[in-house]
Structure 1
Amino acid sequence: MILTVTPNPSLDRTYEVPSLDRGAVLRATGDRVDPGGKGVNVSRAVAAAGVLTTAVLPLGGASGALIAELLVAQGVDVTAVTVAGQTRSNISLVEQDGTLTKINAPGPELTEEESALLLETVRTAAGAPAWIAVCGSLPRGLPPEWYADLVARAREAGARVAVDTSGPALTAALRARPDLIKPNASELAQAVGRPLATLGEVARAAQELRSRGVGAVLASLGADGQLLASAEGTFHGTAPVAAVRSDVGAGDASLAGFLIAGGAGPEALASALAHGAAAVQLPGSAMPVPADLRPEAVRITENPPPDLPLSAPATF
């Protein structure tokens, strides 16, 4: 069973439009409403794969109630911490060429009592799951160290912890030595304090974080695939994509694929790539089901060529 924690969930409304013209009335060619937030998406992808998952999240107001309803309908067990504020709603506009424009609301401000209750809820549940995935931005009211506190409590309870966040929250979480982090190239560059222009520089940055106590680094590199640095070695993988329809939640689907395949080694990396490639070809933040996956198309290389340039060098 995989437990996810999403401190700042959302109700995601996605509209597909031919093109984005400022000041014009746009006619959507498709629309959908999904429960959102990075951890929520991980749970949705895990459930779609037929694996048990529980989503721990603060929920408030009508949008919070709808999120819980939608998650239960998708096979996700929901452990909600009721908060006074209204859960946020986000809007995504996806153009025909795959260009994505997102409008993310800030979300409610959590009180000290709500923050403490959320931490205690995770601690209580931390003994059962194979993995705990803590994901996404922190809402107002929670300091950057909140994730570090959560990681420490979960590890004390014997759980393996994966972290997918950015900025000061990631910096703080690194000090708690999570078992896995999943940065993109820019987040990895920020964590080590230098730009990354080649696959070798990405690998060295990932190994540097491992030397600080992080168990494994699963780095998302966009069109350049993903790199895994772990105790099993350093691996790079790619998966072909015919056309990008929406990349909302694709990284979350990838993390789900990695965890449900055991969370270690090249087999888990291959699962992550297959899930991510399938997700970008689906509308909105829809999560792939097993029939959407093409594992035979994934290519994995151990100790990839260090001088291979990134198509989009990462700055910090």
Structure 2
Amino acid sequence: MIITVTMNPAIDKTVEIDQLIPGGLNRIRKVEYDAGGKGINVSKTIRELGGTSIATGFLGGNAGKTIENVLNEKSIKNDFIPVEGETRTNTKVFEKNGAVTELNEPGPVISKKQIQTLLQKLEAYADEDTLFVLAGSIPKGVDQNIYAEITHLVHKKGAQVLLDADGKLFRTSLEAVPDIIKPNRVELEEYAGFDYRASVEELLDLARKIRQKGIGTVAVSMGKSGALLVKEDYEVRCPALSVKAHSTVGAGDAMVAALAYSWDQGLENESMTRLCIAASAGAVTTIGTKPPAKELVDQLAQQVIIEKKGE
């Protein structure tokens, strides 16, 4: 069973214009709305791949009701905690030249009682057959140690954790030793204190050092440079696939979904790798945060090149 935790969900509003004119009139050519937030995006992609998950976290106001309705329409199980205030709307402005401007709202303030309710809910779901996906930012009122706290809590019941976070949230969470992590290049460089663009070999070395903490799988997304997957006795690099890109938004979430789906289905390493790269590449062809179609992912999986490292 996969449980995705989205503490700061959002309605994703995707706006397409020719060119952004700061301080001037901008005419919109196309608008798309969807339920979003990293964990929710992961659940949507898992559903498209043919898997199931339960999405949870905090939802508030009319925006929260809209997200819940969207998930129900997509037959995605959900079990959110209602909160005061309005779930945020995140606006992504796409220009013809590929530039993206993001306007993200802060979201509601979460109380200690609501946090405790979530922890109790997650503990009830936790067992040896459960993977928790902890993804994305946290709202006001939630401590930066929350993902580490959840990891310790569910580990006690034999569950596993897949982490996708950045900055201080990423650093504090690593101390709790999640089972799978999916940093991107920038997040890993920031974690290591690099003030320059690291080479693939440096990123691979960082992934190895992080694994020494006890983390089973480290998947590093590197944009146009592809991705690294590092496990015990399995280290590979995969070049990025050539696709007609619409937006890179959601590519990382699709890779997280593929990692979670692979865990749930017990896929062997090569199948997991192909699915991760294909899902991520497929996501960049879609509008906004919509998941890639399974048919496209299956096609792209056959094109993935796997280069073994450390040999």
Q: Could you say which TM-score interval applies, normalised by the shorter chain?
A: over 0.9
Q: Is the CA contact (8 Å cut-off) linking 2:274 and 2:302 kept in structure 1?
A: no
Q: How far has the Cα of 1:75 moved from its partner?
A: 2.0
CA distance in 1, matches of 2:268, 2:153: 22
Q: How far has the Cα of 1:159 moved from its partner?
A: 1.4
CA distance in 2, matches of 1:239, 1:264: 21
Secondary structure of 1:158 counterpart: coil
Alignment of 1:140-179 (within 5 A): 140-179=140-179
Where does residue 83 of structure 2 map in the other structure? 83
Post-superposition CA distance 1:193-231 (Å, at most 9, x none): 335521110010001111122222111101101101111
Where does residue 59 of structure 1 map in the other structure? 59
**AA paired with 2:19?**
S
CA distance in 2, matches of 1:101, 1:186: 18
Q: How far has the Cα of 1:264 moved from its partner?
A: 6.3
Q: Is the CA contact (8 Å cut-off) linking 1:43 and 1:76 kept in structure 2?
A: yes
Secondary structure of 2:20 counterpart: coil
Where does residue 201 of structure 2 map in the other structure? 200
Q: Is the CA contact (8 Å cut-off) linking 2:130 and 2:159 kept in structure 1?
A: yes
Alignment of 1:206-221 (within 5 A): 206-221=207-222
TM-score if structure 1 supplies the norm length? 0.92
Secondary structure of 2:105 counterpart: coil
Post-superposition CA distance 1:69-98 (Å, at most 9, x none): 111112210101011121111100112232
Number of residue pairs matched by the alignment: 305
Where does residue 281 of structure 1 map in the other structure? 285
| Cα distance, 1:24–1:290 mapped onto 2, change above 3 Å | same
What stretches of structure 1 of length at least 5 have no aligned partner? 306-316
Q: Is the CA contact (8 Å cut-off) linking 1:39 and 1:134 kept in structure 2?
A: yes
Q: Is the CA contact (8 Å cut-off) linking 1:63 and 1:86 kept in structure 2?
A: yes
Alignment of 1:72-151 (within 5 A): 72-127=72-127, 129-151=129-151
Post-superposition CA distance 1:114-159 (Å, at most 9, x none): 1111111111112275421110011111111111000111111211
Matched, 1:248 2:243: no
Secondary structure of 1:202 counterpart: helix
Q: Is the CA contact (8 Å cut-off) linking 1:235 and 1:266 kept in structure 2?
A: no
**AA paired with 1:89?**
T
Secondary structure of 1:56 counterpart: strand
Where does residue 310 of structure 1 map in the other structure? none
Where does residue 184 of structure 2 map in the other structure? 184
Secondary structure of 1:121 counterpart: helix
TM-score if structure 2 supplies the norm length? 0.93
**AA paired with 1:133?**
V
Where does residue 311 of structure 1 map in the other structure? none
**Worse-superposed segment, 4-13 or 151-160:** 151-160
Instruction: Please list every run of at least 4 consecutive aligned residues from structure 1 whose deviation after the TM superposition is greater than 4 angstroms.
Output: none
**AA paired with 1:298?**
V
Identity of aligned residues (%): 31
What stretches of structure 2 of length at least 5 have no aligned partner? none
Q: How far has the Cα of 1:267 moved from its partner?
A: 2.3
Q: Is the CA contact (8 Å cut-off) linking 2:85 and 2:109 kept in structure 1?
A: yes
Where does residue 28 of structure 2 map in the other structure? 28
CA distance in 2, matches of 1:257, 1:9: 20
CA distance in 2, matches of 1:128, 1:33: 36
